[in-house]
Amino acid sequence: MPRSVLVVDDDPHIRQLLVFALGKAGFDTSEAADGEAALAAVEAGAPDLIVLDINMPRMDGLEVCRRVRAVGDTPVLFLSSRDDEIDRVVGIELGADDYVVKPFSPREVVARVQAILRRTGARAPVVTGPAIRHGRLALDLDGWRASWAEEDVALTLTEFSILRTLAAHPAKVFSRDAIIDRLHGPGFAITDRTIDSHIRNLRAKFAAAGAADLIETRAGIGYRLGSCTG
């Protein structure tokens, strides 16, 4: 079945442009003109991905993403009218999967959507594999579920993928570039700070569950899985 994409932007011209381009690429599309309408659309029927403008009146895209992330892990592609690193970092920290700056090419947005959904598609039941256990950490690779001391910890797709990469080779130190290559393939253009933001999110989520030693930082090198003993 076609994957569904919700396009959220207060500019009707941009919505029309993206709906046309995504529809031409084979996606089922819907649209919302503001944050409140976007949340209502998500509640009515969760899309496979949300293309979400940051700068909207009343409720901006960051708040929409925050609320979406509070209840699920629907992939989010942010749009912004300015290439502001603060917006970019905050968006990534909230769990956004990618970020495009206006003005953009509709073909670029479609390509980013397709790339995100290819990664999301890895959650389908055809992907199998054993669970990974390390100390109190457990990863169910079939169910894409993470837990600490038998208590589930809700993660985004990207967060789970990073943790799975580290847990599959617990003695190995991964550079940020190596983590990016594992997630997206060689040559994918995201910054080291993006990985740092995801690592902070992982540490914060597991710290709330009682984990103080989930991921170790090796200064000047990168990250590896911690002892996960609590």
Radius of gyration of the chain (CA): 18
Same structural domain, 142 and 73:
no
Same structural domain, 60 and 111:
yes
CB-side neighbour CA atoms (13 Å) of 38: 31
Provide the pLDDT for residue 1.
56
d(CA 133, CA 3): 33
Same structural domain, 50 and 119:
yes
Quote the domain boundaries for residue 147: 132-225
pLDDT band of residue 86 (cuts 50, 70, 90) is low
Same structural domain, 22 and 54:
yes
CB-side neighbour CA atoms (13 Å) of 72: 14
What's the mean pLDDT in 83-107? 76
Residue 18 has pLDDT above 90, yes or no: yes
Mark which of 123, 158, 191 sits at the end of a domain. Answer: 123
What's the mean pLDDT in 74-91? 75
Tokens read off for 164: 């799975």
pLDDT band of residue 151 (cuts 50, 70, 90) is very high
Alpha helix stretches (DSSP H) within the chain? 12-24, 35-44, 61-71, 85-93, 106-120, 157-168, 176-184, 192-208
Provide the pLDDT for residue 53.
92
Between residues 126 and 31, which one has the greater pLDDT?
31
Same structural domain, 180 and 200:
yes
The count of domains in the chain is 2
Provide the pLDDT for residue 129.
53
**Mind listing the pLDDT tens digit for each residue in 152-185?**
999 988 889 899 989 888 878 888 888 877 776 5
Provide the pLDDT for residue 125.
30
Has residue 166 been placed in a domain? yes
Between residues 83 and 55, which one has the greater pLDDT?
55
Provide the pLDDT for residue 124.
34
Has residue 230 been placed in a domain? no
**Mind listing the pLDDT tens digit for each residue in 117-148?**
887 553 333 233 578 888 899 998 878 889 99
Same structural domain, 156 and 55:
no
